[in-house]
Amino acid sequence: MTQPAAGLSGSHHGIITGQNGAVHMESTTTAGRILRGIEFARPDGGAPLLLDLYLPSADSARRAGGPHPAVVHFHGGGWRMGERSSLGPTVDGFGLSPIEQLVDAGFVVASADYRLTDTAIFPAQLHDAKAAVRWLRAHAARYNVDPGRIYAWGDSAGGHLASLVGLTAASAAFTDDGGTGTADSVAAVVAWYPPTDLVRMGAQARPDAVASADDPGSREALLIGAQPAEAPDQARAASPLTYAHAGAPPFLLIHGTADRFVPSAQSAALARALENAGAAVELLLLDGADHMWATPDGSSAAAETATAATLDFLRRQSER
């Protein structure tokens, strides 16, 4: 059974039956309702991919007065682990509940699975991320979502996928919509410490790096099925930097300068590429913060700053 999402307070649970007899768990929180474990895709007829759908409270819905903006969230974990609705153990442990904060601000949030690298290599993960966006758009009316205000957000590997979703909308190279014709575009992207350039990522690693893309069997190697340095074409194809263009949606990139897993130069490089292309981008570098917003003093200050900046950016985008 799917476990309750970390950090959600005041929850009550019940089992309900959805479309096609699918059973999922429904919860309520101070922010609204959660529908857990909704199947949104079954790639190649294999195991189902599930998402958790967070819906604002009735009071928030009344205040909104119309369809809600929505966010599709993709978890981190190096494409090889992690769970939907989690922002990693360190961020979850701070108890900030960024997803719940978004819901309380009037956003619908869908936090989605994607195939991990023990099941499939890239571009399967991007196909799955796009499928989650298409599912939400196809069900927009049912869940009172504005299909023109759907945003992508992810952390680490999930930030990589959110960035690719934003940059490859309607791309013929990554079309896998099953003939539905439903758009996979998003209106803005937020990425926390994302890998963006797999070709140069290993060379940018800090001296105190915990992991490098050039390590044998690295996360990045598992993603593309080869060492990035030995397969530069595959590494470029899996890099958001490759797809920066003038028509990209607005981006917010947030990264810690002391990140020992994904060098902060990865976000800086994508920000430069987007700016040079004429796209709108905001880059926030948090001094001294490591991956998952860990800091030497163990405080949640960096995580609070990143969460507040995310809320502010998405609110501004939703009001455009």
**Is the pLDDT assigned to residue 12 strictly greater than 60?**
no
Residue 257 contacts residue 206 (beta carbons within 8 Å): no
pLDDT surpasses 70 at 29: no
Going by pLDDT thresholds of 50, 70 and 90, the confidence category of residue 317 is very high
- Say which range, 1-15, 82-96, 166-180, 248-262, has the weakest mean pLDDT: 1-15
- Is the confidence at residue 30, as pLDDT, over 80? no
pLDDT of residue 285: 98
Instruction: Kindly state whether residue 14 falls inside one of the protein's structural domains.
Output: no
Question: Which residues are within 8 A (CB) of 62 and not within 5 positions of it... i.e. 6 or more apart?
Answer: none
What predicted TM-score, i.e. pTM, was given to this entire model?
0.91
Q: Is residue 151 part of a domain?
A: yes
Query: Lowest-confidence range among 19-23, 98-102, 142-146, 244-248?
Result: 19-23
Domain membership of residue 13 (yes or no) is no
CATH code of the domain containing 68: 3.40.50.1820
pLDDT tops 90 at residue 189: yes
- Rounded to an integer, the average pLDDT of 74-86 is 98
Is residue 35 included in any domain, yes or no? yes
Q: What is the mean pLDDT of the chain?
A: 90
Domain count for the chain, please give it: 1
Looking at residue 207, its pLDDT comes to 95
Tell me the mean pLDDT in the region 127-142: 97
Name which residue leads in pLDDT, 59 or 144: 144
Dihedral (CA of 273, 279, 285, 290) sign: negative
* Within-domain flag for 1: no
Give the pLDDT band (50/70/90) at residue 57.
Answer: confident
Mean pLDDT, rounded, for 163-177: 88
HSE of 39 in the Cβ direction (CA atoms, 13 Å)? 14
- Give the 3-state secondary structure of residue 231: coil
Q: What is the tens place of the pLDDT at every residue in 255-314?
A: 999 999 999 999 999 999 999 999 999 999 999 999 999 999 999 999 999 999 999 999
201-245 residue pLDDT tens = 999 999 999 989 999 999 999 999 999 999 999 999 999 999 999
| 11-48 b/e (C-beta count within 10 Å ≥ 16 → b) | eeeeeeeeeeeeebbbbbbebbbbbbbbbbbebeeeee
Domain membership of residue 260 (yes or no) is: yes
Looking at residue 177, its pLDDT comes to 65
Q: In what order do the strands lie in the sheet with 32-41?
A: 12-17, 23-28, 32-41, 49-56, 108-112, 68-74, 145-155, 189-192, 251-256, 281-286
Q: Is residue 171 part of a domain?
A: yes
> Of 153, 77, 76, nearest to 110 (Cα)?
153
Domain-located, residue 196: yes
pLDDT for residue 8 is more than 50: no
* Domain containing residue 268: 22-318
**CA distances for 90 relative to 74, 170, 177, 305, angstroms:** 16, 35, 35, 15
* Cβ 57 vs Cβ 266: under 8 Å: no
Residue 113 identity (one-letter amino acid): D
